Amino acid sequence: MSNKILEIKNLSVQYTTDKIVSHAVNNIDLSIEKGEVLGLVGETGAGKTTTALAIMGLLPRYISTVTGEINFKGENLIGLNEKKYRSIRGSQISMIFQDPMTSLNPVFKVGEQIGDVIKFHNRKLHSHEIADKVDEILNLVGIPPDRKNEYPHQFSGGMKQRVMIAIAIACNPDLLIADEPTTALDVTIQAQVIKMMRALQKDLGSSVLLITHDLGIVANFCDKVAIMYAGEIVEAGTLEDIFDKSRDHHPYTVGLFGSLPNILERTDRLEPIKGLTPHPSELPEGCKFHPRCPHCMPICQAGDNPAKATSGTHVIQCHLFNKEKSL
Ligand SMILES: Nc1ncnc2c1ncn2[C@@H]1O[C@H](COP(=O)(O)OP(=O)(O)OP(=O)(O)O)[C@@H](O)[C@H]1O
Ligand code: SF4
Ligand SMILES: [Mg+2]
Q: Has residue 326 got a pLDDT over 80? A: no
**C-beta 280 within 6 A of ligand 1:** yes
Per-residue pLDDT tens digits for 30-61: 999 999 999 999 999 999 999 999 999 999 99
Query: According to the model, what pLDDT value does residue 28 have?
Result: 98
- Burial (CB count within 10 angstroms: exposed 0-12, middle 13-18, buried 19+), residue 300: buried
Torsion of CA 230, 236, 240, 243, to 10 degrees: -10
CA separation for the pair 6, 27 (Å, rounded): 16
Q: Which atom of ligand 2 has the smallest separation from the CA of 251?
A: 5
CATH 3.40.50.300 segments of the chain = 4-92+175-277
What are 23's strand-pairing partners? 14
The residue whose CA has the least distance to atom 6 of ligand 2 is 318
Q: What would the CATH number be for the domain defined by 4-92+175-277?
A: 3.40.50.300
Per-residue pLDDT tens digits for 296-323: 999 999 998 999 999 999 999 999 997 5
DSSP state of 62: G
**C-beta 167 within 6 A of ligand 1:** no
Interacting residues of 99 by C-beta distance below 8 A, sequence separation 6+: 184
Query: According to the model, what pLDDT value does residue 27 have?
Result: 97
Whether the CB-CB separation of 134 and 169 falls below 8 Å is answered with: no
Query: What average pLDDT score do residues 207-215 get?
Result: 91
**Cα of 299 from ligand 1 centre, angstroms:** 29
Per-residue pLDDT tens digits for 123-158: 899 999 999 999 999 988 889 999 999 999 999 888
Q: How far apart are the first and last CA of the chain?
A: 30
Interacting residues of 24 by C-beta distance below 8 A, sequence separation 6+: 13, 14, 15, 47, 50, 231, 280
Any idea which ligand is nearest the CA of 51? Answer: 1
Query: According to the model, what pLDDT value does residue 140 have?
Result: 87
What are 11's strand-pairing partners? 28
Per-residue pLDDT tens digits for 246-290: 899 999 999 988 866 555 555 555 567 888 899 999 999 999 999
Torsion of CA 278, 281, 287, 292, to 10 degrees: -10
Interstrand relation of 207-212 and 175-179 (parallel, antiparallel or unpaired): parallel
